């Protein structure tokens, strides 16, 4: 028990935890101890990825889900089909052939530093912004960090910190004539009044489209050309995603999509031989592999692991 208390104290200090009462600290210690037990147990059971303590380790799984997710997914298949018939008719990257074995948009300078959404359910805004940052860099050569706060405050088709969808965010950026830089409209961690007459440079997109749902080869075709917004289930019945610290994630998860993230590449792990998709999250750089998770692909399920193939969308910049 003494060693466990020492570990909890050093962990609390590392993550800047300040509990208001002794009762609250004791409660968090109990949760921490349960999470540590779970992490140790799972690390004996899984081999391709591993779990560890992180800044979420004093939260129950339910508390974590309530605070750090935020995707609102209605019936979206009809929206994809409607848009396809009304606009392009065909998937933009349908004829892309001879895909590279691996793609990593971080190495190509098209991905900004990992950000942290805090206790704001604005994952949809972070996912959309990362995709727009990517296509803007690919098209113009300039990597510019853009404003999630603008989407959270001003995009009335979405729910701010109460959740939203990436395709609606793309539509807002188009209708608004662009999105401001992060430095001009910085993230505040909650929803505020929209700054409508903000002066400063904006980044624009021309349009957006969807990757055909449940089609991993199409997702890779898109990913070979740009980062893509994807939806996953990160808040499943087990806590592996919450405690993930590295490796190729193969854990159990369903397809009740509840979290927006950004796929920024794909590859194959040298040690395990597992094919994976590289995913940028918005839980800060001290979660996962520097803020990223590698998620297994070629699972045999059309939906992909955690539903990653179900609802990919991407901005277009001519």
Residues with a catalytic annotation lie at 123, 259, 281
- How close are the terminal C-alpha atoms of the chain, in Å? 61
- CA distance linking residue 226 with residue 104, whole number of Å: 10
The residue whose two tokens read 């800044």 is 55
Q: Are 104 and 278 in contact (CB under 8 A)?
A: yes
With CA atoms as reference, report the closest residue to 281 among 295, 269, 299, 270: 295
Helix (H) or strand (E) holding 267: strand 259-268
Q: What is the number of alpha carbons within 13 Å of residue 91 lying toward its C-beta? A: 21
- Residue 276 Ramachandran class (φ > 0 left, ψ -120 to 50 alpha, else beta): beta
- At 201 the three-state DSSP class reads coil
Q: Which residues are CB-neighbours of 251 under 8 A, at least 6 positions away? A: 46, 49, 238, 240, 241, 244
The tokens describing 46, both together, are 């899984």
| Strand pairing report for 259-268 and 275-280 | antiparallel
């Amino acid at each position: 028990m003494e060693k466990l208390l020492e570990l909890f104290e050093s962990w609390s200090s590392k993550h800047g935890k300040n509990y208001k009462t002794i009762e609250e600290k004791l409660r968090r210690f109990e949760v921490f101890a349960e999470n540590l037990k779970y992490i140790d147990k799972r690390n004996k059971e899984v081999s391709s990825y591993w779990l560890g303590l992180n800044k979420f380790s004093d939260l129950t799984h339910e508390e974590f889900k309530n605070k750090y997710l935020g995707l609102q997914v209605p019936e979206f298949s009809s929206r994809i089909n409607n848009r396809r018939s009304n606009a392009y008719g065909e998937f933009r990257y349908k004829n892309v052939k001879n895909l590279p074995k691996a793609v990593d948009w971080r190495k190509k300078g098209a991905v900004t530093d990992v950000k942290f959404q805090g206790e704001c359910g604005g994952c949809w805004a972070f996912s959309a912004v990362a995709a727009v940052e990517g296509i803007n860099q690919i098209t113009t050569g300039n990597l510019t960090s853009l404003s999630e706060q603008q989407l959270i405050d001003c995009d009335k088709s979405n729910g701010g910190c109460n959740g939203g969808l990436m395709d609606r965010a793309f539509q807002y950026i188009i209708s608004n004539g662009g999105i401001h830089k992060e430095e001009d409209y910085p993230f505040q961690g909650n929803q505020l009044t929209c700054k409508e007459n903000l002066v400063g440079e904006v980044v624009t997109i021309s349009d957006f489209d969807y990757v055909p749902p449940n089609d991993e080869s199409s997702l890779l075709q898109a990913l070979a050309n740009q980062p893509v917004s994807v939806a996953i289930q990160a808040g499943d019945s087990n806590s592996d995603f919450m405690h993930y610290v590295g490796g190729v994630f193969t854990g159990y998860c369903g397809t009740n999509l509840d979290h927006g993230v950004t796929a920024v590449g794909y590859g194959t792990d040298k040690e395990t031989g597992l094919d994976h998709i590289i995913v940028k999250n918005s839980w800060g750089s001290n979660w996962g592999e520097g803020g990223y998770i590698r998620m297994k692909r070629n699972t045999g399920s059309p939906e992909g692991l955690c539903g990653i193939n179900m609802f990919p969308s991407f901005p277009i910049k001519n």
